[in-house]
Structure 1
Amino acid sequence: MGSLGYVFASLILAVAYSASAALVMGTGLHAQIVPLWVPAGIALAAVLRFGMGVLPGVFLGNLAFNFYLTSSWVDSLLAANLLSSLMIASGATLQTGLAKYLIDRFGANPLQPSHHHGLYRFILFAGLVTCTLNATLGTLSVYWIVESPGSAGFLNDWISWWMGDSFGAILVTPLVLALLTPRHEMRLKRWLRLVSQLSMVILAILALNHIFLSHLQTQLNRSFQQDIRMLDAQIKAVVQQNLSDLTSLESLVLPEGRPDPEAFRTRVLEIQARNPSVLAYSWDPLVPQHELETFEAETRRLLNRPDFAVYGASLHPEDPFVPVQFVEPLELNAPALGFNLLSLDDRRRWVLQAQRSGRPLATQIINLTQAPKEPGMLILHPVYQSQETNPLLGDKRLVGFMVGVFTVERMFRAALQQIGLQNIEFALSEQNVDQPFFTTAELPQQSPLYSRFLLDVAQQRWAIEAYAGLDYMAMHPASNAQLMQTLLVVVGCMGALLILGMHDRERTLMAQVHRRTQELAHQARHDDLTGLPNRFRLMEAIQQRLTFMPELPFSVLFIDLDRFKMINDSLGHQTGDKLLRLMTEGLSRRLIEGSELYRTGGDEFILIVNGDIPHAIQEAERFLHLCSRPVEVDEHHLQLTASIGISHYPEQGDSLDTLIKHADTAMYRAKARGKNCYEIYDQGLTTAAVHSFHLEQDLRVALKERQLVLHFQPQFNLKDTHLCGLEVLVRWQHPVKGLLPPGQFIDLAEETNLIVPMGWQIIEMACEQILMWQEMQLMVPPVAINISPQQLLEADFLEHINEILARYGITRSQFELEITESLIMQDPDYAIAQLHALREAGYRLALDDFGTGYSSLNRLKHLPLDRLKIDYSFTRDIGKNPRDEAIITTVIALGKSLNIEVLAEGVETQAQYDFLRAQGCDSVQGFMLGRPVPRHELELSRIA
């Protein structure tokens, strides 16, 4: 929508806002707070439909309505009305904008919620939360700035405002949104059902509210009429009291025809103290013209006022004077002293009427001296005295007038206060006169509560019109509008929620089905543990590449974690799973653009890398480095390595199966090279893989058919050259290939985990041979057997070997178990504990190939060893490499310091033999002294 479109939409919104406000303004008891505020919903729906650009329409509509409303009933400055209207309009605009933001942010559109909690969020954000904003600003405005009528207190006004805005935002917003829905986005039947249902709910709420207000008005009117009857009686009592007070003042008139000044003053002050409507009392005597000078002189003496004089000439020459002689309170009414009532036409008329009737006469005074803005009432009470010449005849003569001046408003307010009423306004007029001579300052233009009654006051009859303002209705005990209207709003919100829920049920169900389908599709294509794409997703991705981008080269990197099974076996699968999650999270974050990582098995991954082979090699090297980073899992410091095989499309395969098979073959070649490296596939690897596969199958058969044979290599003591031990070396008598050395099948056995059953078979074969030699009465030295790490780290290794030796009756000291440094490196704590258990059980322990590994000397001192074996790689260079000789010398010295026997392997020359003997080496073995031979070629001494 362009800028002109927003301007046009804002103007339409402003008109709609003001018009709807005018329609619902009579739904409450407050002049400005409407408990069912429809415009809030119109504004929010328009902003949701057309965007924030129509917010000016909300501001203008609210401003126009509130300024007109306050100007019509608030007698205050224009600035106050404008400030209040600006404050309310700003609050409404901010409230609508905030609701729009929250609804969009949390997907709470009432017609299309993005979540199954969307409707609850709509009620929360559109109404209950955001409506507190304008409720606070608006209530502060009408409560403190313009003081609009109908207030029930700040808290109740705030609740009514908040409730009214919530009604509009929650109930009206969905209806207007539905009406603003474009035709192409609606399904007519569902749309009609939604509009009709929401309309019926809103109309029902408004109708119920109207019925309730009508019933409430009837109750309030009945109560109001009762209050007016009480007020009528109280006003009459106040008037009668005023007349009684005048009569009591008449009794103060002395025979001299005047009251005593001090007694008069005291009595007036007493009356004024209990009657706040009294402004003044005065004594106005009747003075013949010929006695005027005497009267003035006597009054100066009585009042001690030398300046006293009667002023104002009588209108008729034959008229006497009726001057003000005494007036109280004097301080406020001193200018009235000496005023002649007969000098003004209306006063003369009142005096003559009171004189003729002989009774008090009440008249209204438009402007009072003390309170010019307060109309007053003046009562002339004629005072008569008996004739001294003939008192029995009862003849009386008029001596003057006792005059009382009262404010009408104070008289009425006093009457209200005495009966405990508030917030009732009045208009007073003479009977049969339309224009009132007195009205209260806040007289409502229209009031549903009205009463008219007549008041007779000293020969006058006044018509009194009483109005109950909005404050009367809001504060009256019979008014419970807020509770009922709150209930209506709650019921309406529940109805709207039910309707919207039913309307959205089909869409919600479809969304749930779609979402669940997506979740299942994601689960079908991703690994549960790591969240990586799985083999199924890999097949889809490769198929898409081959179909849509056949010219794009890429490489398949088959990644297998080295020795991961050992972590599962030793630390548990839970630790292994955590390690996989942490490692894959780190690898996923560091993938370069164009690379995709998949998990295809327990510890197997496939990495797809776009580009040529050098790019794949670069990524393989980077991946090996990332895999080798240490990871902390459950207080274990773990470090893995990986073996990677690489195949490249299209040179090494044009299908996924072929590429994976070739990468897998290359990966096994990498493992065979020592692990923690990568290998690029070539055709020769396939041949080697086929050979390895067949060899593995033959090895399984060999274990089953016991095709393994044992050879023994003698070990000699250098001190006396006697035989001190035999090392068991395994050979494989292959039915086709003949006798195979261990180098051709031991690595394969370790890789396929056949090394464990092979190890137990070798131990049993060694026990059988030892038992055979012992039965032949031959002297059998300790027999050394190599134990693989996988076998030794088994939890039941000690129990198993004890059971085998016990079955053959072989003593444990007859066996020397040879281990390598790699065993210590894999799990140092467990391995050392296992070795101590073996040593305590009586087995001899030897560390084979010492010096070729990476174990620390600090760890060596904790190993319960009987023998260190120097690797032949050091022995063969004796006499050629001084460094190797230095190492041998150091190892021999280390063995002596730790009380561990030292044996050197690979002794093949006399020079090697002499050097080792000269350095104090304990024992040797090698081709010079004896090659590995079958059992029948070994010569053993007989027991003497």
Structure 2
Amino acid sequence: MYSGIIRTTGLILALALAYFLAALLITGQGMHQQIMPFWAPAGIALGAVLRFGPAVLPGVLLGNFAFNLLIPLTWNESLTFNNALTALAIGTGATVQAGVAAALLHRFKSLPLAPKSGWALLAYVLIAGPLSCLINSTLGTSAVYFINDAGGSAGFFKDWLLWWGGDSFGAIVMAPAVLALFPDKAAVRQRRWPLVIRLLGVVGLVLMLNHLLMLRLDGQLRRDFQRDIRLVEAQIFSAIQKNFADLAYLGQRFAEPGGMSTEAFRERVEQLTRDNPSVRAYSWDPVVEVEDRHAFEQMTGAMLGEPNYTIYGESLMPNDPLIPVQMVEPRALNRKALGFNLLSLGDRRRSVILAQSSGQPVVTEVLNLTQAPDQPGFLILHPVYRLVGENGPLQRKRELTGFMVGVFTVSQLIDGALNGAGITDVRLRLTEQEAETPFYSDFPDAVLDDLIGHFTLQVGQRNWQVEAMPGPDYMAANPSSNATDMQLLLVLSAVISTLLVLSMHDRERVLMDEVDRQTQSLAFQARHDDLTGLPNRSHLMETIRQRVLGPDKQPFAVLFIDLDRFKLINDSLGHQAGDRMLQQLAQLLSRHLPKDTMLFRMGGDEFILLVEGDVQRASVEADRVLIATTLPLDIDDVRVQITASIGISLYPAHGDDLGMLIKHADTAMYRAKAQGKNRYVVYSEEFTDQAFHSFSLEQDLRVALSERQLVLHFQPQFDLKTMELVGTEALVRWNHPTRGLLAPGHFIELAEETQLIIPLGWQVIELACEQMKRWEQQGVDSPCVAINISPQQLLQIDFVEKLNKLVDGQGVTRTSIELEITELMIMQDPDLAMMQLHRLRESGYRIALDDFGTGYSSLDRLKYLPLDRLKIDQAFTRDIGKNPKDEAVILTIIALGRSLGIEVLAEGVETEAQLRFLTQHACNSVQGFLLGRPIPADELFVGV
């Protein structure tokens, strides 16, 4: 009796130890904290109960409970009551699961090493895995999800599914190995080692593949996280820039004559606060001279309805003026700030001086906010200037009139940036440059150093060092972290492999038949498209090879068929509807095409049709396909009609291999699309020549930019009253090493298509600045130089900063540069363009609107543009004396410029009659071939 108890106790302890050690070895096979796939201990438990009986079930509970108590400690967590309760629930579920599975297998005589029949093996797989494993997957996932909530969940269903698959893997694959290691029959004992080796080989292979998968997904997770960090950086930068833009807009309103009323200020701040949760306050702080203090206090008190309004806080230096808070919103939360003098505190005074000297917004040190004492915040001081002087645009000066001040919370700014990026559970830690402690952090106590991203934010005149790390929910939600599908596929593969191993000896014939069937199926699938059943690319390659290498080389045609606007079907009706349409279209074409043709699906909405014969036969079949594709199809109760574009190449005229034939047919197909779609085009060698010419020119242009082959010619601009040189326009030319000097018409359009226009534009600006500096060194008093700016360049968010850095670095005066924009440029993104133009004006540049009258822009928007000059397009100038309507447009533009105080310049003046007309009607200035063609810089001032 005692020996039996001792034996049972030993078995229980041995099972508990084996369960515990197997659980430790299996950790790290998944990427979620709670769920560990390929749960081999489930099979150890089931195998032990099948072999030694239900008396060993306490060992399952003991081993599982011990392991799940240890897990929180490996995550740097303290042991809590919830941890213990979760461990008990999971251990109970594992015990019940092993006992139920063993009872059912005995009941249906489906023991894996002694099946009653072939069907019994299938019953074993179903009972040991999917059926019985529902118990612990449901109980354990519920305990982890609702009791422990350790973080990193991929969602209840996915966690449950992975748990269920992992237990199924262990029960199905490991239980037979345990039974083979501890057999109770001599027959089995004699054959057990090959069986054990095969079963453990399945386990090892699956775990190795899973390990490789985890390594790949871990690398992908790191790359995705770095990508998301760049996105977070961009979102935070964008949010800060939005704050700068809002302050600039409010400051501009206060710089206008008459300033901004308290009601308008309150309404605008309420709108900005609704749109930007990080805002805590906006205030207007004008510059007030000391002698004007009393008058300012009385005027402000009456304007705000605050009779007790006074300026408090004396300036630190005797020569300092006062910069008091005149308006602040929301006033109820910030009433104490009214009248506060920015120059009364040392840090505020330093920020004011820095903002005034740089002309740029300045961010103060991070501080505690009275409006939100539990959150760090910061102030942005935005200097506001107004233009003074009446001697014309070039002589006007800027005068500091005050500061727009914004108060913002760091946490709300970060939350808004993360929400804008669609990213959850990324932890950030922000530190002022050279500071030892962060001013903001939601990092946990335990930090994974290898998953921390770094970047620097330039906020005003300060640098913030930002560290970011993913939280457990981010890691679980990230697509690269979710290996559920692949792991379930590996589980399925392991189950199938185990079933094959177990039935190998007594089901060899069935297995061979199944292998033959699978082989045929795989061979068919390898040569046919899964969606449509049509032959695929591999089949096409075999067919072409046989035709080309065979003894009877008959001519044939390759028709490359591409559906027009098929993406619209997927986007509007969904990809499933698109798949059904492809299936119906494949069936339709197969019915309408002759039997001596072969239709292949290349992928997506692309098909290949092989047609016997010459170009006439190919044209007939192309027409047949075009007609067939336009027949209506019913997709999900929607009547759909579509067209196709077809390119045709001929064998052997257009190639003697599949690659060349498809390439030429594809080229012809794109030509058909360019000609309007729903047609066919036969390949011609000139198509390739044109494509090569465009490609070659693009490559040459890239070399030209790197080798600075671009040169500038300058066309003079003359004042019509004095006929003196008042300006010049920089026009780019390309000094091509073999084609000579190329005008912009040869390469500008290509540069815009290939996005090379941005580096080209910067090189033009750099060349212009270099030339202006040379003129200055030569003692030439050069006039203002006009430079054309592309839309892509203007709409870059950092365009103004880069331009200022380039111009200042060359030592060129900003007021000597006139930046030409077009109406079309403004219409692409009016708000951003308007903001950029005002920033350029504040930076000191002149702004000209080129090709005026051709872009249909709004006159209402025109009055807000900070323009110095309107340029009448030469399309109107050249018809002076010929078309009264064009003359009327010119007179209207001149009158509009005069009323808005904007200079008007006429382009394209080529005749004396045009010059007389413009002079008579008081146009300010002109340029054109009559007075001067574009010439190199060294010829511009010859004889002047």
With normalisation by structure 2, the TM-score equals 0.46
With normalisation by structure 1, the TM-score equals 0.46
Q: Whose radius of gyration is greater, 1 or 2? A: 1
